[in-house]
Amino acid sequence: MSLLEIEGLRVQFRTATGVSRAVDGLSLSVDAGQVLAIVGESGCGKSVTAMAILGLLPEGISRADGTIRFEGRDLLALTDREMQKIRGKAVSMVFQEPMTSLNPVLTVGRQIGETLRLHEGLGRRATEARALEMLRLVGIPEPERRLKQYPHELSGGMRQRVMIAMALACNPRLLIADEPTTALDVTVQAQILDLMRDLIGRTGTGMVLITHDFGVVAEMAQRVVVMYAGRKVEEAPVRDLFAAPRHPYTRALLDSMPRLTEGGEAPEELTEIPGVVPALTEPVRACTFEPRCPRASDQCRTLYPPFRECGDDHMVACWNPEPQPDAAVAEPRRQGEMKA
């Protein structure tokens, strides 16, 4: 049994312009000790998926169907009270914005301690001792002093370390990290990634790593799910995906990726792929990537492609996938066309 198994997850939002299908039939699974990366352009439903797992979609305007099984329990069927026992304890989360994700009016110690008191029922002393231990673990210098400080007294990198300390305080079995390093500068990014990989490796925690940065994927993950407009369009082990991306969208993402080591600048949001993500309110019949796709054919305009095996442990939803590397001689890459 996998640690996390999502099947046919569908998340819909009621919006002014109609029902928006933010996540549309997503399936994936994560094993204990495994890091699964979810990549895709902004707006493709990555964060919504994360919030659905935690049961924190906005009430009233959203609806989630399908199943999200965590250690065999369907999280979507649980009440909020039951979810409260899981959140922060068995499943915890690190968010993208370390500058705003910590409460500005509570001390760091208080915010880490809150999780511990809530889930571990520790007393004041024990809570403080454990919070201190966590700060040490995430490599924060002078942890005694930091405990009494407020978030605004810490740098962005330090705050993200605090977030990680908070998320790992109760030894979760699954960690969801939603673009954990996007807001940080490059050197700090590398440190934070190292830290997370190290801590997760030690405890055998499973991880869903959401990112749009393939550098991060290469660094951290074993498996990748590529999302486009609320759907999974490709899934493969990291190495295979890098070696031979099969979906034209994945190919485009990889091609538009800035070289992490050359610039020194953090990679921007990916905007280099021509065209825009389709409106999620329109019904899906044809392939949603077709208008932007260099490999589009008539078939793509009539029917959405099935998600199918296209190689060893490699799945893709495309009528005309990119060729396998050994076939590449016969059909050269059409990168020039795509950029046009």
Partner 1 sequence: MLRYMVRRILATIPVMVVVAIFVFSLLYFAPGDPAAIIAGDQATAEDIALIRESLGLDRPFLVRFGEWSWNILNGDLGTSIFTGLPITHLIAQRIEPTLSLTVLTLVFAILVAVPLGVLAAWKAGTWVDSAVMIFAVLGFSVPIFVVGYILAWLMALQLGWLPVQGYRSIGDGLWPWFRSLILPSISLGCVYIALIARITRSTVVEVLRQDYIRTARAKGLAQMPTLFIHGLRNAAVPIVTVIGIGFAMLISGTVVTESVFALPGLGRLTIDAILHRDYPVIQALVLIFSFAYVLVNLAVDLAYTLFDPRIRY
Ligand X SMILES: Nc1ncnc2c1ncn2[C@@H]1O[C@H](COP(=O)(O)OP(=O)(O)O)[C@@H](O)[C@H]1O
Using the structure block, give the residue that is written with the tokens 């890459």. Answer: 333
Q: Are strands 62-70 and 223-228 parallel, antiparallel or unpaired?
A: unpaired
Which positions lie near partner 1, rule CB under 8 A? 54, 56, 60, 80-81, 84-89, 92-93, 95, 97, 100-106, 114-115, 118-119, 150, 152, 163, 166
Number of Cβ within 10 Å of residue 136's Cβ equals 13
If the CB atoms of residues 106 and 279 are measured against ligand X, the closer one turns out to be 279
- Which of 43, 139, 237, 258 lies at the binding interface for ligand X (CB under 6 A)? 43
Read off the tokens for 200: 């997760």
Amino acid, single-letter form, for residue 295: R
Smallest separation, CB 129 to ligand X (Å): 36
101 binds, among Mg ion, ligand X, partner 1, none (CB under 5 to 8 A by kind): partner 1
| Nearest Cα to Cα of residue 50 among 62, 65, 68, 66 | 68
Read off the tokens for 98: 């370390």
Smallest separation, CB 61 to ligand X (Å): 6
22 binds, among ligand X, Mg ion, partner 1, none (CB under 5 to 8 A by kind): ligand X
Read off the tokens for 28: 């994936």
Regarding 182 and contact with Mg ion (CB under 5 A), the answer is no
Smallest separation, CB 230 to ligand X (Å): 7
Concatenated DSSP letters of 228-295: ETTEEEEEEEHHHHHH---SHHHHHHHHTPPPHHHH-SPPPPP--SSS-PPPTTSPP-S-TTGGG-TT
Per-residue mark of binding to Mg ion, 14-53 (x: CB under 5 A): ---------------------------------x------
Using the structure block, give the residue that is written with the tokens 């099969």. Answer: 246
Candidate segments 40-48, 149-157, 168-176, 298-306, binder of ligand X by CB under 6 A: 40-48
- Which of 5, 39, 45, 86 lies at the binding interface for ligand X (CB under 6 A)? 45
Interface with Mg ion (CB under 5 A), residue total 1
Q: How far is residue 116's CA from residue 124's CA, in Å, rounded to a whole number?
A: 10
Q: What order do you get walking across the sheet with 91-94 strand by strand? A: 91-94, 174-178, 206-211, 35-39, 223-228, 231-237, 314-316, 308-311
Smallest separation, CB 270 to ligand X (Å): 11
Site residues (CB under 6 A) for ligand X?
13, 15, 20, 22, 40, 42-48, 58, 61, 280
